Amino acid sequence: MNKDSEFILSEANRCLLCKNAKCQMKCPINTEIPEVIKLYREGEVHKAGEILFKNNPLSAICSIICPHENQCKGNCIKGIKGEPIEFYEIENYISEEYLKNLSFEPEKKLKDRIAIVGSGPAGITIAFILAQKGYKVTIFEKNEKIGGVLRYGIPEFRLPKNILDRIQELLIQLGVKIRPSTLIGPVLTIDKLFEDGYKAIFIGTGVWNPRKLNIKGESFGNAHYAIDYLKSPSVYNLGKKVVVIGAGNTAMDSARTAKRHGADDVTIVYRKGFEDMAATKHEIEEAKEEGIKFELYKAPLEIVDEGLILRETEKVVNEKGESKIIDKEGSEALYECESIIIAISQAPKNVIVVNNAGFMTANGLLVTHKGQTTREGVFASGDVVTGSKTVVQAIADAKIVAEAMDEYCNKLNSINNDI
């Protein structure tokens, strides 16, 4: 995946190794960018890789899919007058080298049993940290393979899945047990996990319920939800002309995937403009380069057999400079297409909450305090707590929760020892 070593070295040599590096400060997981680049320049690739991995066990993945333009690259001092350093290319090179050679010996004397529900970036991070602390970790994953959105959302052309296979190997070396195709909630309940002796449970189940458009025709055979489509695009027969509704990364990924699966005319429909899109500029540019078309300032009104009825919208700005989008009545027109993919965000599935007592939610998201849910001994983080965010944010939050879980188990053990 990474660029050649000549480019990496010249990029590293351009770095000013700032003392109060803004790139590091604006990285959600506070990657020690100057230190890593310094070590790399000195030929200490292994040491640099170790720092990256200890801080972020998924640094090889973040180096590929983080929104760098808002983080390290967007805050590089060199970018003020010229080209910013592409640290993520250096990070990718070092992290992949490090992962290739990394190996673990499982702990001999194991501590308490920990259950991790969900193997997205949040669950994987908790597993790495707690297994390295000597806990007996089991991951429960409802899909066949680990990775969450990294495996079943972000397409292969953006993120090669062999990195996740390597991550799985390392988890297994650490002694982590993985139960694939196992849904926690209705049959294996939270109570059952505690009964079987798990000391603490982590929920990192993400957001997998598509949000509805709430328009007529949404249940028709030509309409699909992006989060379902991206899981297994090859089983869909979308036809040649496809519309994607939405403007986040999920919409860009769906449009680009549809193009790769045989659609030759793919259009993104959005009720606002490019400047309002949630997708990164990079993703939008890539989509444009691949021939994805955009119908902006258009809102979907109804799905029909022939396609989609759209109404034009308009941005109006008041005297205070505040803008809002209004519909232009009477501008309705049919946009002909064979299939429509709806990609307007996701919410959590409530399978754990409805089948297990004691969880408080707000707008469907789990309520937590310092990582602990309203149920004793059950912790949570990632998208199921924050709503759709980023991979690096899920990892950063999970690091804090892993420490809270360790503290919780230690406290429980010291109370039990005192009795």
Return residues touching ligand FAD (CB under 6 A).
Answer: 65-66, 117-123, 140-143, 148-149, 153-154, 183-185, 204-206, 227, 230, 249-250, 253, 351-352, 382-384, 388-392, 394
For ligand FAD, the closer of residues 331 and 386 by Cβ is 386
With respect to ligand FAD, which residue has the nearer C-beta, 133 or 145? 145
User: Which of residues 183 and 301 has its CB atom nearest to ligand FAD in the complex?
Assistant: 183
Q: How far is the CB of 305 from ligand FAD (least distance, A)?
A: 28
Q: Min. distance of Cβ 326 from ligand FAD in angstroms?
A: 29
210 DSSP β-pair partners? 346
Chain-centroid distance, C-alpha 304? 33
Sorted by sequence, the CB contacts under 8 Å of residue 29 that are 6+ apart come out as 55, 56, 62, 392, 395, 396, 399
Question: Least distance to ligand FAD from the beta carbon of 335, Å?
Answer: 23
Nearer to ligand FAD, 171 or 391 (CB): 391
The separation between CA 255 and the C-alpha centre of its own chain, rounded to angstroms, equals 18
d(CA 49, CA 212): 43
Q: Least distance to ligand FAD from the beta carbon of 251, Å?
A: 9
How far apart CA 240 and CA 266 sit, in angstroms, is 8
Say how many C-beta atoms besides its own lie within 10 A of residue 196's C-beta: 11
**For ligand FAD, the closer CB: 184 or 238:** 184
Nearer to ligand FAD, 173 or 388 (CB): 388
Beta carbon of residue 385, minimum distance to ligand FAD (angstroms, whole number): 8
CA dihedral 146, 87, 287, 147 (to 10 degrees): 0
Task: Identify the burial level of 76 via C-beta atoms within 10 angstroms of its C-beta, where 0-12 means exposed, 13-18 middle and 19 or more buried.
Answer: buried
Distance CA 135, CA 129 (A): 9
CB of 348 to ligand FAD, least distance (A): 8
Question: Is the CA virtual torsion 211, 216, 219, 223 positive or negative?
Answer: negative
Structure tokens at 92: 């990718």
Query: Shortest Cβ distance from residue 408 to ligand FAD (Å)?
Result: 20
DSSP H or E stretch at residue 298:
strand 298-304
Closer CB to ligand FAD, 93 or 208, in the complex: 208
- Residue 270 and residue 248: Cα distance in Å, rounded? 10
